[in-house]
A and B are shown apart, each in its own frame.
Chain A
Amino acid sequence: MTDQASATGLRDTLLVGFCALFLLVTKLALRLNLGIPGHAMFFTIFFLILPRAVTGRKLAATATGLAAGLASVLLGMGKGGPLLLLKFLFPSLCVDLAFLLFPGMGGSLLFCTLVGFVAAATRIVGVAVTDWLVGMDPAIIMAHAFIKTLGGALFGALGGLAAAPIIRKLKARGLLPQGR
């Protein structure tokens, strides 16, 4: 690895770290019980899409999600303990997969909104597993998980919608890696 490549790698890792910290701080700040389910998903999706688009690394969103998830588990945020990691892991994997399958689409409003919606909706797995582990009736699990996830998915779509113009403007100013 050349010095330049190493510096770029370090820069990208630092950016991922910054995004994970922003994600954590917004998550902490949004720990308000306002009766709006899933409002924290807005910033989660926003800070998962951004590092993936800005660094162009294949697993940048997953790394951000893992870092933020591990810190959340250590800080005991949210319900579900270690299962909280799943709630970060699935959306971040979904973002990475979407950018891998459709490279160069980061600036599209529709693409980012859809990715945000689907990625936030994958939290249904984490919610369902938690419900199943606490012994909820299987007939109720899906309905409960669906209701809990729907609000989050809508906020996730909004998060994607907010990330798209930023990616587009960064791309227009040549601040994004070419072809990513």
Chain B
Amino acid sequence: MNPWPEPSPQRTGCAPSPWVMLILCPVLSLLAVVWHGPWSMPVLAVVEGVLLVISRPGPRRLLRLAMACFWQIAVVTGLYCLRFGPQEWRGGLDVSLRLILVFVPGMLTIRMVPPAAFERILKRILPGNLPFVASCCLRFFPLLLERARIIHEAQVLRGARVLPRELLNPRNWPDAVSCIALPAVVQSVELATEIANSARARGFSMRGRRTSWPLNEEQRHAEAQSAAKESTR
């Protein structure tokens, strides 16, 4: 189940600014890992819940998220019970809820920060055209996960022994490598090639001068004027 959302092309409703989201979300993830006080989980859950409501996820996305959380809790708690005995279910539940609190901010960032705004912010931090690459990777990663999920489903249907319970047996691991990992790597290569070719066709390149356009109207006007001047020379 892929809970990662498609990024929204523009800011949703009363969403905080991209800058605030890009600082707030890593801080929330960090707090979910390092803050272990009795109030940590309720406080983080409330803050992330409010952000989730602001992002207006819609019933379908909420259902996907709920399913992903359910599986996460079931798998982690099950592993804890298997490893340490049934009395340790509380520890497993605690860890799985924390993991959800670590994941949700990243998901919200992708949902609430439009790719163009994300790239403009990254341009101030990263050198060269790396912001373009970074934002492309983040933008297309959900698609890659979705393709991997489809590959997994297709392989299960054709009888590969790659269901989670079957993967507990080490004898089925070679199946996972040849049936899931290999097609997923080929899909990654294909997707990267597609993106690179599309970018090249649109004048974006590793050594190009610009990979994002300013939103500011004055800057846009000045750029258009200078381009017009250059073309008339």
Contacts and interface: CB of A to CB of B under 8 A. Distances in A.
A18 B30 contact: no
Interface string B198-226: 01100011111000000000000000000
A interface residue count range (under 10 / 10 to 19 / 20 to 34 / 35 or more): 35 or more
A19 B37 CA distance: 34
Interface string A24-39: 0000110111110000
A17 B137 contact: yes
A50 interface: yes
A9 interface: yes
Interface stretch (A113-121, A127-135, A162-170): A162-170
**B interface, how many residues as a size bin?**
35 or more
Interface string B23-53: 0001001100110000000000000000000
Contacts, number: 112
A18 B26 contact: no
Interface in B126-153: 130, 133-134, 136-138, 140-141, 144
A140 interface: no
Given A14-B137, A18-B137, A75-B29, A165 B177 contact: yes
Interface in A1-33: 1, 3, 6-15, 17-21, 28-29, 31-33
B30 A10 contact: no
Main secondary structure of the interface of A (DSSP, over half): helix
A11 B182 contact: no
Interface in A124-180: 162, 165-166, 169-170, 175
A74 interface: yes
20 contacts: A1-B207, A7-B197, A9-B206, A10-B199, A14-B192, A14-B196, A17-B133, A17-B136, A17-B137, A18-B144, A18-B188, A18-B192, A29-B99, A34-B80, A35-B84, A75-B29, A76-B33, A162-B177, A162-B181, A175-B189
Interface of A: 1, 3, 6-15, 17-21, 28-29, 31-35, 50, 54, 74-77, 162, 165-166, 169-170, 175
Given A162-B181, A170-B189, 20 more contacts: A1-B207, A6-B207, A10-B195, A10-B205, A14-B195, A18-B141, A19-B188, A21-B138, A21-B141, A28-B102, A31-B33, A31-B99, A31-B102, A32-B76, A50-B185, A76-B34, A77-B33, A165-B177, A166-B181, A170-B186
